[in-house]
């Protein structure tokens, strides 16, 4: 593990046995961490804004929609009311489920990272702000499903809109007695803040959509320059 590829002040979250990785439970965000899903999401946002009679901002600005719940982004970035944001999300979902979900690809190094973590004995889960059904389909399309013990997302009824709640849900499913150190890897501040809220470690993925400053401001425990750098840290024995 070289120089500045992984950095930060956070100590290990507890100790495992000598033959256990530093974090036996590893949670990953999906968009911007495992997969470059920008093309499909941006196209769906453009579709939704068009259906709402609004002009879409430049593509660079639309990157802000990747990560947070779409309804929240519609309110924050487009000034929509709650009702309009829900309507826009309906338009987003129809386009995304039909086409956008298939317009994404894994980042280089992600399969090797996941295989390395599995070989080290880690159990892994996808923990995302996406609707669980969409996350399941994305994981299947990307060939990720067999590598993960759980895919946890939000629900259409409003459940688990907060990342910390989704992380706690994953912990309840995989380690209900909270015996194992766990870590959340993600590219946006919501991932880091969610990890802090749920009491688990955090790693910021610098190859994703969130800039270093955003991850540092959120309090990321470590910053990884690439999936293989992240593997080197997470798979190290405690």
What is the set of active-site residues?
29
**Helical segments of 15-162, H only:** 38-51, 59-62, 70-78, 82-98, 110-119, 132-141
CA dist 68 → 4, 190, 202 (Å)? 28, 7, 17
Cβ proximity of 48 and 89 under 8 Å: yes
Question: Which among 14, 225, 78, 36 has a CA at the least distance from the CA of 215?
Answer: 225
Q: Is 98 helix (H, G, I), strand (E, B) or coil?
A: helix
Q: Residue 29, Cβ neighbours under 10 Å: how many?
A: 27
From 170, 163, 227, select the one nearest 189 (Cα to Cα). Answer: 163
């Amino acid at each position: 593990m070289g120089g500045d590829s992984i950095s930060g002040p956070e100590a290990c979250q507890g100790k495992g046995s000598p033959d256990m990785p530093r974090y036996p439970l590893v949670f990953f965000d999906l968009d911007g961490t495992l997969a470059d899903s920008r093309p499909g999401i941006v196209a769906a946002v453009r579709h939704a804004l068009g259906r709402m009679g609004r002009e879409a901002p430049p593509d660079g600005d639309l990157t802000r929609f990747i990560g947070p719940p779409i309804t929240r982004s519609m309110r924050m970035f487009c000034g929509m009311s709650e009702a309009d944001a829900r309507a826009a999300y309906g338009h987003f979902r129809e386009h995304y489920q039909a086409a956008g979900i298939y317009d994404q690809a894994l980042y280089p190094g992600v399969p090797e990272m996941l295989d390395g973590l599995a070989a080290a004995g880690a159990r892994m889960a996808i923990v995302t702000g996406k609707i669980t059904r969409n996350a399941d389909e994305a994981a299947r399309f990307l060939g990720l499903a067999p590598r993960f013990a759980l895919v946890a997302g939000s629900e259409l009824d409003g459940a688990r809109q907060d990342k910390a709640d989704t992380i706690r849900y994953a912990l309840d499913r995989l380690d209900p007695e909270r015996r194992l150190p766990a870590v959340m890897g993600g590219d946006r501040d919501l991932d880091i803040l969610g990890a802090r809220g749920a009491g688990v470690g955090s790693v910021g993925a610098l190859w994703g959509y969130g800039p270093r400053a955003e991850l540092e401001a959120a309090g990321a425990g470590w910053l990884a320059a690439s999936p293989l750098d992240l593997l080197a840290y997470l798979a190290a024995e405690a």
